[in-house]
Structure 1
């Protein structure tokens, strides 16, 4: 009997979740099929902070998630394991965040010439630190992919998945990105930060392997981003306003989902910014925007991606930020999205069966 089989035999999926592991599962990095990389980083956040604490908040809330899924039999048996949250990365994020915040305040205050010399070197310092973070993510993703593991990422702000996307780009000659988000994230070096949380889509499109970017729920964006989305034939954007108008006029969500899925190539990476959802589900996220989706709407869309036969090759969940002490709501919602997405990834990869 293999160690994994022994762990499965001894585990009670109906019992109380142990707080020592993600979802209370008994697996480790050797026995789990899916490895979650936590990235506690939010250096370039331009509004409210807190997303660097997202991985811990989701981990802590995860044992409240029941493991049973009616349409994926024994989903938990695939094995999900979250790597230890890297304290060194969290410390670096906190330190560089102070520097970036002061710089952003200077920009927002009118960029007074008197302090220009003081802040001149900040963008390069932050860009170097952010590149090092992305390189670390890349190395982690590559390490576990070489071991045959499925890999997903838990941020942190939306700058964090670039290293994972780069690692997957080395395995796939062509794939698409399905982006759930309130923001287009197509800004070039926003606030002079090359790896800004507002630039993840812009940066991902630099990779020639990205054949299509399909954005869903966008409702807060600048004119330059709108022009980019319109003129770049690799981008298709389903704006929140247009989706809602279709729904109000009687178009079924199933039909809208079919339209979205039709725009995707065969291989798909999914990036989920929690602010793509209705803010009542994520009130403490860094840049909340009125509008957005119910959780089950997006998870239904993801199920349709899998049922269509298209393959999800990886995913991330970012921008979850905990509330005041004792408030686990954002973490609880994030944990439920993470569990469902993990199992849909497994089903897409043929490691689980989806009804």
Structure 2
């Protein structure tokens, strides 16, 4: 069947097809407008683990997401397809995460890695393998982009989008990152790992095409990260959770704050969303939780506002979803992924249907 025949035969009101792609959709990769690249990786994790299982948790939970989204009721007709991660990504994640733990333990005991040649060799190997992953992610992203697809990334820990940003940089001369997170992620080679999850935005700043990094919801940072911000001379703008909340307490609306955030971005924007940017009850099993944060609705509103602003959304990543004993984290991740796909599609002129409005009086 061709795509229109599949659409005509599919019932979006029924549970998602268990043998189908993400959200239970019946389309092939070739028939889908949006490709999700899963990256099950968490080699440099230093606190809570589980982010490498995030893509699988989101996929499992996605089959329970109702497709009749209020903002994008016909999004499903475009097709969203989750690509298959190469098996060695998951295998290497487990192997080198185990190799990283003694290095982290040595550092936490106050020792210097360079005093232990075998440990230094392991650290060098981990950095090499992480660089290989980013190159492979870049190649996979470019493969689908060159097929005319909109491509998004689903982590894994927050180190995973570096190759994605590098791929975007081959297509766009100037773009910014809208970064929602509890952490700045501006540490330099955190714990010796060049490609640490805590260093993703520092590494992103090494890509010259990224002209602006606008951070939202930040509530944890170190002295080194503050120095990186100050030395960036306006290239990095930080909206801490404390500052945003103080403005709200004093009468500023979230709409006004969103408009100011969006105005500070360049014309082209990639969204990077670490799920711990939300209040912890949305993501109780994420790796490094911090009190405070944004609500699901605040993030949704910000993305909708960005989509309608006249800025061009060129992509997004969603990272650090970590499953627990229930499927709650995956459920939140799946619903945010679906919404962000809708935001990307609508912003890029695709037909996602008209917003469903209800009479409330």
With the shorter chain as reference, the TM-score category is: over 0.9
| Cα distance in 2, alignment partners of residues 112 and 31 from structure 1 | 53
**Map of 1:11 onto structure 2:** 10
When structure 1 is superposed on structure 2, of 265-274 and 67-76 the one drifting more is: 67-76
Q: Distance in 1 between matches of 2:297 and 2:230?
A: 29
Check the 8 A contact 2:114/2:120 in 1, yes or no. no
Tell me if structure 2 keeps the 8 A contact 1:42–1:93: yes
1:91-130 to structure 2, matched below 5 A, reads 91-111=91-111, 116-130=116-130
8 Å Cα contact 1:285-1:320 kept in structure 2 = yes
TM-fit CA distance, 1:351: 1.1
Q: Secondary structure at the match of 1:121?
A: helix
Task: Give the 3-state SS of the residue equivalent to 1:60 in structure 2.
Answer: helix
Given that 1:40 and 1:86 are in contact with CA atoms closer than 8 Å, whether structure 2 keeps it comes out as no
* Corresponding position: 1:234 with 2:235: yes
Cα distance in 2 for partners of 1:137, 1:351 equals 26
SS of alignment partner, residue 270 of structure 2: strand
CA deviation profile, 1:22-51 (whole Å, cap 9, x unmatched): 101111211000000000000011111100
Which residue is 2:330 aligned to?
Answer: 331
C-alpha distance in structure 1 between counterparts of 2:180 and 2:114, whole Å: 41
Residue in structure 2 matched with residue 299 of structure 1 by the alignment: 300
TM, length-normalised to structure 1: 0.96
Q: Which residue of 1 aligns with 2:358?
A: none
In structure 2, C-alpha distance between the alignment counterparts of 1:85 and 1:139, rounded to whole Å: 13
Number of aligned residues: 352
What is the RMSD of the two structures over their aligned residues, measured on CA atoms? 1.4
* TM-score normalised by L of structure 2: 0.95
Shift of 1:228: 1.8
5+ unaligned residues in a row in structure 2: which ranges?
356-361
Shift of 1:191: 0.9
**What SS class does the counterpart of residue 213 from structure 2 fall into?**
strand
1:328 to partner: Cα distance: 0.2
Q: Distance in 1 between matches of 2:90 and 2:330?
A: 18
How far is 1:310 from its partner? 0.7
Structure 2 counterparts to residues 63-102 of structure 1, below 5 A: 63-102=63-102
Q: Distance in 1 between matches of 2:159 and 2:340?
A: 20
Cα deviation per residue 1:217-242 (whole Å; 9 max; x = unaligned)? 11111012112213312111101110
**19-28 or 262-271, which moves further after superposition?**
19-28
Unaligned runs of 5+ residues in structure 1 are none
1:155 corresponding residue in structure 2? 155
Structure 1 position 112, deviation (Å): 6.7
Q: Distance in 2 between matches of 1:331 and 1:231?
A: 37
2: CA distance between counterparts of 1:157 and 1:136? 16
Distance 1:160 1:309, change over 3 A: same
- Structure 1 counterpart of 2:359: none
Whole-Å Cα distance in 1 between the matches of residues 122 and 255 of structure 2?
A: 47
